Structure 1
């Protein structure tokens, strides 16, 4: 195969495959804290010409806990048994449009669901299952991002944009004085900024992106056996920094990876009535998360390519929230990408293990796993 054609195919594989492991890696309840999806804004901006895509991901995380120490609730007892699987399967959607506004200027609009929670303790015959029965958490977000990118020099792109994010949440924890809380949906605004460098002839690209925190003020209604309260709860989704790198390493073969930092230590959900009852936030994390991804993509034919990748998120230690109990994860993703004319179809599967942890009642959550399936349809027009 001529070298020029091999480089072109390698670059095409980079566009089609490098984001697949990120796009298809599951989010809610198994990525860091309450993350549903990991953004890759720079990928959209490097699509040539006018481009649009839609995608969907199905995630089925599983986690089970055992035992509980009730002394922190004022009951001098340690109970046994399993909680049962408390995570619900979930669908998430995303889409994007990108167009060139001139020779050096381009624009992208991205819609996704960056954060979420779907936790339901099923109850059961064991003392621990009965204790947690009815405990649930629901958190939903939608985010629309508009980004302008400018090619400041050959191979160098800078970009920035605004992010409008909608968030709502509710929770029920019957074993804490019959507590429940509901936060009405609220819009918040943030921004992103980044810089990227590429050499298309060897399919090399490096992109560094910063995502600001986004502040929300939720009108909150809390109820418990001690009474009820209406107030405003402030929630700020965290800032993050992502570095994404890819490069051709052989004809038709691409290596890619990323490292991402998210400031979860600065995130909490603290409704006032819950704080008065328990003396601590409803949701709180003791440290920041680092997520590492590495993979390889190979052009199998002129129209078909495949990729394999591994994502690792180390444990941060400490007791984590009952509403989303896991600490770290290791997952593997396999994806295939097929081109037919101006249309590209990418699909993949992710499977991995969730890190063990314990909550404030010393319930031990272990042997968690996650299965994810995803599909993305892209078109140049």
Structure 2
């Protein structure tokens, strides 16, 4: 029974976790953090996989709420002109891939280590220029690369085994944002013809983080309970450029700033409930509220030049599901996940419900293939001006959005040596 359940365990956890970060989770989450490979009983285990996500978020009733023309003689312009002649509806989302690769080894009795590469954070919206909110966003993209080493030591405690977990990771984050700073019609009216009015901010930074946790396992019942904390990653030296050559400037400015990617705590529980049946669940908290307004300054004058406005609240993700082993080669699983949106009246990150299902094929004890899919419901809401923490956000554009969908598919391969 234990062997049967343990084979189902791997699939169950994949089905529960693969889409939490992938299909429109809150904040900037993409793949998140996942150390489940560390628990695989194999001596040496290699795993690789990729998730493809196709979200479909449509913004409606868009209105440019700051229609003032800029005073170009007083520094960085704020009002970008009246863009309400442009479309009041737009699809802002772009599809994306989330890869992952990892290797785990049992080093000595009770000691195991896992090295992995992942992309925990990311975002890509591209509504373009032909909408009334182009002075807030034309295109925004965030990428991340995470290189981690995690180890554990387990020993007998009561009827099962207690596992102590610790590790560290190095993280790189980069991205850009483009928006219409000044309506090109206004620029043409003052003699600056042939300019798009678009400004572009490019950024990159890196930092280190660590994790610590514990798990208790009773293999006979396929029971495991784990608690893992992942630290924040301080990006103390973000550097980049601000390109306003399509507005009024003739040069590209060097800028700098700082931020921190969030810390998180995740609790996972699984247990065999009948021969060849497994139940699993998880609860995760992510400290997205530390990302509010990220300011950037000129590297020479130290004057504030622009900012990235996020105004997030903390994220909560709750997931549960069932896995079943059909025979020695095939297993199936299904999961339901609720992710609390991080927007609080500014932005389009509302609550998300994710319904996932997956299948695992094991032609031999050393090889396992997985294929899973999910459909997400992105709940409705609106975005406009809010005030939080003494700062005002969203004074430039307002819009609504209905209940939209996201689809995802994930494939992976695991090989044991």
Same fold (TM over 0.5): yes
SS of match in other structure, 2:2: helix
Equivalent position of 1:343 in the other structure: 367
Give the structure 1 partner of residue 228 of structure 2: 209
CA contact (8 A) 2:22 2:51 kept: no
Alpha carbons of 1:331 and 1:14: their partners in 2 closer, same or farther (altered >3 Å)? Answer: same
3-state SS of paired residue (2:8) = helix
Q: Match for 1:372 among 384, 388, 408?
A: 408
Q: Secondary structure at the match of 1:21?
A: helix
**After superposition, where does 1:283-294 map in structure 2 within 5 Å?**
283-294=309-320
Corresponding position of 2:78: none
- Say whether 1:267 aligns with 2:291: yes
**Superposition TM-score, scaled by structure 2 size:** 0.81
The aligned runs of 1:142-153 (5 Å cut-off) are 142-153=145-156
Equivalent runs, 1:353-372 vs 2, <5 Å: 353-359=377-383, 360=394, 361-372=397-408
Normalised to the residue count of structure 1, the TM-score between the two structures is 0.88
Q: Residue 94 of structure 1 corresponds to which residue in structure 2?
A: 100
Summarize the Cα distance change of 1:366–1:81 in structure 2 as closer, same or farther, 3 Å threshold. Answer: farther
Q: Within 5 A, what are the aligned runs for 1:177-196?
A: 178-183=198-203, 185-196=204-215
Alignment of 1:153-164 (within 5 A): 153-154=156-157, 155-164=161-170
Is contact 1:64–1:82 with CA below 8 Å preserved after alignment?
Answer: no
Task: Write the deviation string for residues 298-347 of structure 1: whole angstroms up to 9, x where unpaired.
Answer: 111121110000110134552334xxx32121010000011111100111
CA contact (8 A) 1:13 1:298 kept: yes
Kept after mapping to 2: 8 A contact 1:346/1:375 = yes
Does the aligned pair in 2 maintain the 1:64–1:368 contact within 8 Å?
A: yes
1:352 to 2:376 alignment: yes
Change over 3 Å in CA distance of 1:76–1:133 after alignment to 2: closer
Q: Distance in 2 between matches of 1:148 and 1:316?
A: 32
Name the structure 1 match of 2:338. 312
Q: CA RMSD in A?
A: 2.5
Distance, in Å, in 2 between the alignment partners of 1:173 and 1:161 is 39
Alpha-carbon distance in 2 for matches of 1:108, 1:123: 45
Q: Structure 1: any 5+ residue segments left out of the alignment?
A: 1-5
Q: 1:219 aligns with which of 206, 219, 239?
A: 239
* Residue 139 of structure 2: aligned partner: 136
Among 331, 334, 340, which residue is 2:357 paired with?
334
Taking the TM superposition and a 5 Å limit, the aligned residue runs for 1:225-264 are 225=247, 227=249, 229-264=253-288
Other-structure match for 1:111: 117
Query: C-alpha separation between the residues in 2 aligned to 1:26 and 1:212?
Result: 17
Structure with a larger share of its residues in helix: 1
Instruction: Specify whether residues 242 and 16 from structure 1 end up closer, same or farther in structure 2 by C-alpha distance, changes over 3 A only.
Output: same
Larger radius of gyration: 2
- In 2, the alpha carbon distance for the partners of 1:328 and 1:238 equals 19
Distance 2:116 2:344 in 1: 35
Give structure 2 stretches of 5+ with no counterpart: 69-80, 183-196, 384-393
- Distance (whole Å) between structure 2 residues aligned to residue 151 and residue 272 of structure 1: 46
Q: What does the per-residue CA deviation read over 1:355-380, in whole Å, with 9 as the maximum and x for residues that have no partner? A: 33333222112222110000010011
